[in-house]
């Protein structure tokens, strides 16, 4: 079991469902801690699983992920830090919790009736749908009676087994295989490689996987919305009450919504053609320029994945790209912008990347100080696309309409109004195709997330 001491709330997604039982003898059980001893030690031990929707292992720093952010925030509310213990499989995770090796199990656990009988759970914090995921052009059992035709592999000990057992009551020919592990992602990759016809994954993981492996398709939903919750050691006096109170506050304060948006809200509607083209170009174009993006990012407060994602949105990584308005190169710079940032050849990949990154950094510094957090970056990216003047106009209009001028979510709704004469005629910089920067930012966020996940 891998261990990390954690820090403040970080960032990226959540794991899957969980186990049933084990044939091996149960491990020795430790005497339970109390909330007081947890606070005295300054440490909350969080059991979890590695995967793109829970914990992402980073070579050069602490782990990140949806469950990491959530656990860090809960630990901070207790005045302690979280230490993450990563189990190798779902059964291992539950065994560790039963043995007293952790205080909570935060791994996107589906709250099923079977589990509720033997485990204590926190309040529900998210809902997902269990989806049957298959390969485009292969076996595609869209109807339940076709399920026995498919070679189905699912995560051992997961709620997916419970779902299949329930379906098997009326479809008695249904069979499936299981594999151990902590995430359904390897099984999704196995389906993509043709090692199985189908697997089952939670909807947010399936959505993520299809953007890395565009030949995957969702054949059908197998359940309605399923609640996710943390399991916890019920022997720890006061822990259940602390979890209930904290999750209520996290919901009321918007933390759960914010984390959901950070990790799962960055993907728009699925576009097979766009995703397939992106994956191809990651393979055959990005390697030529990755070193240049990394070098530019080293000099500025941006990740290389962000700069690469922006360049893809601008030019599809084509250094000779040119628009009808005369912008050119990987970062599609105007002549005046190129002169401003000190480059003389917009079609030179290195100059274009350095110049585009410098221009984005300049815009970032010009964003009003009242715009903070990720919203500041989205504001700067939108200004790269539509111009800082129109962004200032959008802020004025947001204020006039009673919206939050410092919130990107609010500005994303206001910007399209800049093409409405009833509004743009009253603003300093006039007409703009305001829907374009909204889509521009959304696509960059999506491409950035996919690039950041390439090595998971």
Contacts of residue 420, defined as CB under 8 A and 6 or more positions apart, other chains included, come to none
H-run or E-run covering 34: none
Burial class (CB in 10 A: 0-12, 13-18, 19+), 154: buried
**How far is residue 161's CA from residue 176's CA, in Å, rounded to a whole number?**
9
Contact 297, 303 (CB under 8 A): yes
Contact 97, 37 (CB under 8 A): no
Active site residue 314: yes
Q: And the tokens for 39?
A: 């606070």
What does the buried/exposed string (b/e) look like for 356-369 if buried means 16 or more CB atoms within 10 Å of the residue's CB?
Answer: bbbbbbbbbeebee
Q: Give phi and psi for 313, each to the nearest 5.
A: -65, -35
What does the buried/exposed string (b/e) look like for 191-226 if buried means 16 or more CB atoms within 10 Å of the residue's CB?
Answer: bbeeebbbbbbbbbbbbbbbbbbbbbbbbbebbeeb
Residue identified by tokens 């914990």 is 55
Q: Which of the following is catalytic: 117, 314, 399, 436?
A: 314
For residue 46, the cross-strand partners are: 84, 104
Residue positions annotated with a catalytic role:
314
């Amino acid at each position: 079991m891998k261990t990390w001491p954690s820090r403040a709330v970080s960032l990226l997604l959540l794991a899957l469902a969980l186990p049933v039982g084990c044939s091996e003898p149960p491990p020795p059980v430790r005497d339970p801690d109390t909330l007081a001893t947890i606070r005295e030690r300054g440490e909350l031990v969080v059991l979890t699983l590695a995967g793109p929707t829970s914990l992402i292992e980073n070579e050069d720093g602490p782990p990140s992920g949806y469950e990491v952010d959530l656990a860090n925030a809960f630990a901070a509310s207790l005045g302690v830090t979280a230490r993450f213990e990563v189990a190798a499989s779902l059964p291992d995770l539950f065994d560790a919790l039963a043995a007293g090796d952790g205080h909570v199990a935060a791994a996107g656990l589906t709250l099923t009736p079977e589990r509720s009988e033997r485990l204590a759970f926190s309040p529900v914090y998210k809902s997902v749908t269990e989806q049957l995921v298959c390969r485009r052009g292969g076996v595609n059992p869209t109807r339940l009676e076709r399920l026995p035709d498919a070679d189905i592999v699912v995560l051992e000990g997961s709620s997916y087994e419970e779902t299949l057992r329930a379906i098997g009551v009326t479809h008695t020919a249904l069979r499936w295989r299981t594999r151990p592990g902590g995430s359904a992602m390897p099984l999704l990759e196995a389906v993509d490689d043709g090692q199985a016809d189908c697997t089952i994954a939670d909807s947010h993981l399936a959505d993520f996987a299809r953007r890395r492996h565009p030949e995957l398709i969702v054949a059908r939903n197998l359940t309605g919305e399923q609640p996710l919750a943390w399991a916890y050691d019920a022997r720890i006096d006061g822990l259940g009450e602390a979890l209930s109170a904290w999750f209520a506050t996290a919901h009321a304060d918007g933390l759960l919504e914010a984390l959901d948006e950070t990790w799962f809200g960055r993907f728009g509607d699925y576009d097979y053609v766009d995703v397939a083209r992106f994956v191809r170009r990651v393979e055959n174009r990005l390697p030529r320029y990755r070193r240049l993006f990394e070098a530019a990012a080293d000099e500025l407060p941006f990740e290389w994945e962000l700069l690469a994602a922006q360049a893809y949105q601008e030019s599809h990584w084509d250094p000779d790209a040119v628009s009808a308005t005369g912008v050119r190169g990987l970062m599609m710079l105007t002549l005046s912008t190129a002169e401003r940032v000190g480059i003389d050849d917009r079609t030179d990949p290195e100059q274009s990347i350095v110049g585009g990154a410098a221009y984005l950094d300049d815009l970032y510094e010009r964003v009003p100080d009242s715009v903070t957090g990720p919203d500041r970056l989205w504001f700067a990216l939108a200004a790269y696309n539509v111009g800082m003047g129109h962004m200032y106009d959008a802020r004025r209009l947001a204020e006039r309409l009673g919206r939050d001028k410092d919130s990107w979510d609010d500005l994303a709704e206001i910007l399209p109004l800049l093409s409405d004469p009833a509004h743009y005629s009253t603003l300093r910089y006039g007409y703009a195709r305001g829907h374009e920067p909204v889509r521009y930012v959304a696509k960059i966020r999506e491409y950035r997330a996919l690039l950041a996940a390439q090595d998971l």
